Amino acid sequence: MKETNVKPATGKLGVLVVGLGAVSSTFITGVLMTRKGLSKPVGSMTQYDKIRVGRGAEKKYLPYNEIVPIADLNDIVFGAWDVYPQNAYESAINCEVLKEKDINPVKDELVKIVPMKAAFDKNYASRLDGDNVKTVKDRWDMTEQIREDIRNFKKETGVERVVVLWAASTEVYVPVNEKVHNTLADLEAAMKADDKENIAPSMCYAYAALAEGAPFIMGAPNTTVDIPAMWELSEKTGMPISGKDFKTGQTLVKSGFAPIIGTRCLGLNGWFSTNILGNRDGLVLDEPANFRTKEVSKLSTLESILVPEEQPDLYGANCGGEGNDHNGYYHKVRINYYPPRNDNKEGWDNIDIFGWMGYPMQIKINFLCRDSILAAPLCLDLVLLSDLAARDGRYGIQRFLSFFLKSPMHDYTKDEVPVNHLFQQYVMLKNAIREMGGYPADETID
């Protein structure tokens, strides 16, 4: 390893997960099984990917942990909050993502992960009705109680560092309100005034994490850290933030396939995406107000890859999508709750393209994916890389983590356009790892 300014990954790393449902119980079980040599962390970039460093005779392909000091899986200590009181073992069994034979070898460890009472407001997830919930006076009190949980967890476990990961349900859509969300002072005032309309519970978790010196990762499409007030707080505390929404099934396909259409200079009339899933996430998203949050996240991917203004002949208003916000091709996303499918989500994409002289063609993609199996390695990578970024002194939005996220955070107040193109995101990721490892960034994003 080269000389690097990144602080070493000494001591234990606490991973506090908000929500102990399908995604997090799968993530935790997989890490524990991998530590025992009983499973493989397939899908994890930090555990498998290799990055080229150097050129010519100096060229080497190295795993991440040989370029930068990444925390070892054996040093992770898990904790959680959830509205349901079941421990991690009970949750893993109940969610039915993993077979019992793949959970039982680490039962002793899972049983000990008992969720703390959640900071919860039923108005933000009306389909959930758990009773393992904090009693709070107002949003400020809610935040203070979460901060105390983080401090107690550190004390009881002896971990040196903590990362907080949101893997809970999608909240009702919260539009950005400049009077509340633009400055830290306004945000704090709204919390103290118990402004339930503009302050979602997830914002209390994010504030608490950053205030306690823990990076925060938003794994759902919630507005949470996507506001200038949180950027101000993360700068003040020197902590990294990333989000939003784990890029698992359909959007992973979209961010990887749309570049094929764009690079080949083919035209697009429309892209219709629909999903069926039956887990707790599907139940929550069956509520229109919660689906709106997800829809905004899923719709944003395509518009920054295939841009009508850049190629009006291929993606402009003549393509059949008049009336869309971007005035180009037609883009629609649907999610349907279908209990028999449980965690095995099915995504269908119908893509209407056109080629030479405007002749039409179609592409159909049917991805029968397992949502939590795809999300678990993203959780691991986001946790390890956020911890790494914190030890490198990186704070604010971590754009290099866009690769793992559906709707990458960006500074929309300065009209910044997020990078959604999967392969450009991968270049950003590789260059950040190179730079933190003391190597020059040597690939261009264009």
Note the pLDDT tens digit of each residue in 162-175. Answer: 999 999 999 999 99
Residue 1 pLDDT: 62
Nearest CA to 249 among 69, 333, 369, 419?
369
Residue 278 has pLDDT above 90, yes or no: no
Residue 327 has pLDDT above 70, yes or no: no
* CB atoms closer than 10 angstroms to residue 2: 12
Contacts of 161 (CB under 8 A, 6+ apart): 11, 12, 13, 14, 214, 387, 390, 391
Contacts of 354 (CB under 8 A, 6+ apart): 266, 267, 268, 269, 319, 360, 361
Three-state SS for 273? strand
| DSSP symbol at 99 | -
Residue pair 386/234 in contact by the 8 Å Cβ criterion: no
More confident residue, 46 or 2: 46
Range scoring the smallest mean pLDDT among 307-316, 352-361, 398-407: 307-316
Peptide bond into 244 cis (omega under 30): yes
Residue pair 424/398 in contact by the 8 Å Cβ criterion: no
What residue type is assigned to position 172 of the chain? Answer: V
Range scoring the smallest mean pLDDT among 27-31, 58-62, 85-89, 340-344: 340-344
Cα–Cα distances (Å) from 85 to 28, 54, 205, 342, in that order, read 17, 51, 18, 21
Average pLDDT taken over every residue of the chain: 93
d(CA 77, CA 162): 9
Residue 342 pLDDT: 79
Do the domains at 13-246+372-436 and 250-368 have one common CATH topology?
Answer: no
Take residue 426 and report the two structure tokens written for it: 């991968």
Residue 154 has pLDDT above 90, yes or no: yes
Listed by start position, the domains of the chain span: 13-246+372-436, 250-368
Beta bridge mates, 276? 336, 346
Residue pair 170/220 in contact by the 8 Å Cβ criterion: yes
Question: Hey, CA dihedral for 49, 51, 52, 54, is it positive or negative?
Answer: negative
**In degrees, to the nearest 5, what angle opens at C-alpha 167 toward C-alphas 75 and 66?**
35
Q: Residue 299: which pLDDT band, with cuts at 50, 70 and 90?
A: low
Contacts of 298 (CB under 8 A, 6+ apart): 221, 250, 251, 273, 333, 406, 407
Average pLDDT over residues 197-220: 98
d(CA 285, CA 294): 8
Residue 282 pLDDT: 73
Q: Which helix (H) or strand (E) holds 280?
A: helix 280-285
Nearest CA to 275 among 352, 350, 370, 345?
345
Residue 317 pLDDT: 77
d(CA 194, CA 172): 17
Q: Per CATH, the architecture of 250-368 is what?
A: 2-Layer Sandwich (3.30)
Q: Per CATH, the architecture of 13-246+372-436 is what?
A: 3-Layer(aba) Sandwich (3.40)
Buried b (16+ CB within 10 A) or exposed e, 186-214: bbbebbeeebeebbbbbbbbbbbbbbbeb
Residue 308 has pLDDT above 70, yes or no: yes
